[in-house]
């Protein structure tokens, strides 16, 4: 069976698209012929990502914006549309996190994650609406297992990502009449990301232990997430909207939750000893 995922001359915008999972998504669309805009807070990350994406030979644009700043997001989107026209695919993937029990967390700490993950997602989607191709645009939010699985030391991320899931579902209802599809991907442990390097795979023993906790007995890859994004944005996903889809090897409850909670306990112990 041959599946054609051709995005030639399509315009794809990826917020947070300069590193990790989001860069993997941006690169996959560039490899399939898309004109790609990546947006990030840090100029050096934007410069490095755009240089890598240009090897695919299609249009590449980079913009700096902080998703917490509504006007900054609007300016970045206006720049991208001026370069490549209406947005065919929008990916919102900026995120922030740290470990803390709720009783030890400051209001500002809780707010910081809400502002990046949830408010930032709203800013990206709200500012993008006027620029999305109607009908035909596909929006993909990057959520996390914390949205549905309660985890100690993650009250802020659990609340923020649950909000991202519901925002995805509500806007799928509201924007469906414009011909816009909105879905979310919930990645599990993905190799090659900073999170896995720091939390799961600092040694061969840790990597083996983490791999054994995944039902499919392997860590995910950047390509696993990118391939799902390509499918959701393609005509093959044309009747999928309002879905939150795990891509976690069969069970983030068994793989992600134990590692994050163990790391949270260690972080708290280290904080008490200093």
Structural domain contains residue 199? no
Decide if 181 contacts 160 (C-beta within 8 A).
Answer: no
Structural domain contains residue 257? no
Over residues 20-75, the pLDDT tens digits come to 999 999 999 999 999 999 999 999 999 999 999 999 999 999 999 999 999 999 99
Structural domain contains residue 208? no
Three-state secondary structure call for residue 186? strand
Q: Quick one: pLDDT at residue 211? A: 92
Structural domain contains residue 4? no
Query: Which residue matches tokens 């929008």?
Result: 90
**Any idea what the CATH number is for the domain that residue 86 is in?**
3.40.50.720
Structural domain contains residue 200? no
Q: Give the Cα separation of 1 and 24 in Å (integer).
A: 25
| Count of structural domains, the chain | 1
Structural domain contains residue 196? no
User: Which domain does 78 fall in, by range?
Assistant: 11-189+220-250
| Consecutive H or E run containing 23 | helix 20-31
Contacts of 83 (CB under 8 A, 6+ apart): 35, 37, 59, 61
Q: What is the mean pLDDT of each run of 10 residues along the chain (274 residues)?
A: 84 97 98 98 97 96 98 98 98 96 97 98 98 98 97 97 98 98 97 81 81 94 98 97 97 92 89 79
Structural domain contains residue 246? yes
Structural domain contains residue 204? no
Q: Quick one: pLDDT at residue 272? A: 83
Three-state secondary structure call for residue 226? helix
Q: Quick one: pLDDT at residue 192? A: 86
Q: Quick one: pLDDT at residue 191? A: 92
Decide if 203 contacts 262 (C-beta within 8 A).
Answer: no
pTM: 0.95
Q: Quick one: pLDDT at residue 43? A: 97
């Amino acid at each position: 069976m041959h599946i054609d995922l051709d995005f030639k001359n399509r315009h794809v915008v990826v917020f947070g698209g300069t590193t990790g999972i989001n860069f993997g998504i941006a690169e996959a669309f560039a490899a399939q012929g898309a004109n790609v805009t990546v947006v990030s807070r840090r100029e050096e990350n934007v410069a490095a990502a755009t240089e890598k994406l240009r090897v695919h030979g299609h249009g590449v644009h980079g913009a700096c914006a902080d998703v917490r700043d509504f006007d900054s997001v609007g300016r970045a989107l206006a720049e991208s549309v001026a370069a490549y026209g209406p947005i065919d695919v929008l990916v919102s993937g900026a995120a922030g996190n740290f470990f803390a029990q709720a009783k030890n967390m400051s209001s500002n700490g809780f707010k910081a994650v809400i502002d990046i993950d949830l408010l930032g997602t709203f800013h990206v989607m709200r500012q993008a609406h006027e620029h999305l191709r109607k009908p035909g645009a596909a929006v993909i939010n990057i959520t996390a297992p914390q949205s549905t699985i309660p985890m100690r030391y993650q009250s802020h991320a659990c609340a923020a990502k649950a909000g991202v899931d519901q925002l995805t579902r509500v806007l799928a209802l509201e924007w469906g009449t414009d011909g816009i599809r909105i879905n979310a991907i919930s990645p599990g442990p993905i190799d090659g990301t900073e999170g896995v390097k720091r939390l799961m795979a600092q040694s061969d023993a840790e990597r083996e232990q983490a791999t054994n906790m995944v039902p499919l007995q392997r860590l995910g890859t950047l390509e696993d997430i990118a391939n799902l994004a390509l499918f959701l944005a393609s005509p093959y996903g044309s009747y999928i909207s309002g879905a939150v889809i795990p891509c976690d090897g069969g069970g983030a409850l068994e793989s992600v939750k134990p590692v994050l909670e163990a790391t949270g306990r260690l972080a708290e112990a280290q904080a008490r000893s200093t």
